[in-house]
């Protein structure tokens, strides 16, 4: 399973912790980490072999322009949006593998998202609305995203894009804890 992790970066001090979480928790997937640095941020590329893209992007509102820039570079596989205030959950790889194995024709999955202390932040939904689904809660087949992109100047861009995608196919609900919400805050 090929996984592209997309991270818009305005908090470069978190890059090492994010990279370490990927290195420690992804063992079976073919992983590529793509980072776009917010214009004006000073960032040094951390040394991880799976860090494929490390580019400066435009000054971005809420990271959406940076996510879109990176989406344009990814052509295949699965996509996971891992923000720069988060880390990969310990169960992410197992849950994603299980989801794909059980639903090989599905185009996207929505998992249980928890806070750092383990309390549930968001349950998975197959009816995305602004406020009931988070960027870091889904894994999406790149071909399903197609040419759709995040609205660039909207804080609710994740909900807005996911509402649009759900008109074509609802996400498959996976009732496993597999994602964190703002772990590094």
pLDDT tens digits, residue range 119-164? 999 999 999 999 999 999 999 999 999 999 999 989 999 999 999 9
Alpha-carbon span 156 to 135, nearest angstrom: 10
pLDDT for 60 equals: 85
**β-pair partners for 31:** 3
Give CA–CA dist 10/57, Å, rounded.
11
Note the pTM of the prediction, 2 decimals: 0.97
First to last CA, the chain: 30
pLDDT in tens, 70-122: 999 999 999 999 999 999 999 999 999 999 999 999 999 999 999 999 999 99
Superfamily of 2-180 according to CATH: Spore Coat Polysaccharide Biosynthesis Protein SpsA; Chain A (3.90.550.10)
Which residue's entry shows tokens 């596989």?
77
Q: How far apart are CA 79 and CA 145, in angstroms?
A: 9
Residues 31-71 have pLDDT tens digits of 999 999 999 899 999 999 999 999 999 988 899 999 999 99
Given a cut of 90, whether residue 184 has pLDDT beyond it is yes
Give rounded-to-5 percent helix, strand, coil for the chain.
25, 25, 45
Tokens 């071909």: give the residue. 143
């Amino acid at each position: 399973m090929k996984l592209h992790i997309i991270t818009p970066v305005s908090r470069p001090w978190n890059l090492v912790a994010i990279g370490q979480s990927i290195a420690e928790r992804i063992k079976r997937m073919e992983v590529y980490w793509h980072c776009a640095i917010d214009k004006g941020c000073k960032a040094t590329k951390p040394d991880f072999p799976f860090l494929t893209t490390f580019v400066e992007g435009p000054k971005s509102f809420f990271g959406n322009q940076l996510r879109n820039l990176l989406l344009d570079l990814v052509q295949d596989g699965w996509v996971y949006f891992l923000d720069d205030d988060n880390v990969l959950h310990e169960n992410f790889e197992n849950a994603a593998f299980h989801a794909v194995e059980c639903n090989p024709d599905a185009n996207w999955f929505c998992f249980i998202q928890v806070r750092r202390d383990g309390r549930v932040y968001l349950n998975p939904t197959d009816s995305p609305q602004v406020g009931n689904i988070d960027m870091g809660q889904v894994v999406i087949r790149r071909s399903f995203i197609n040419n759709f992109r995040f609205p660039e100047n909207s804080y609710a861009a994740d909900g807005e894009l996911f509402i649009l995608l759900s008109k074509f196919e609802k996400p498959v609900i996976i009732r496993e804890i597999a994602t964190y919400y703002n772990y590094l805050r």
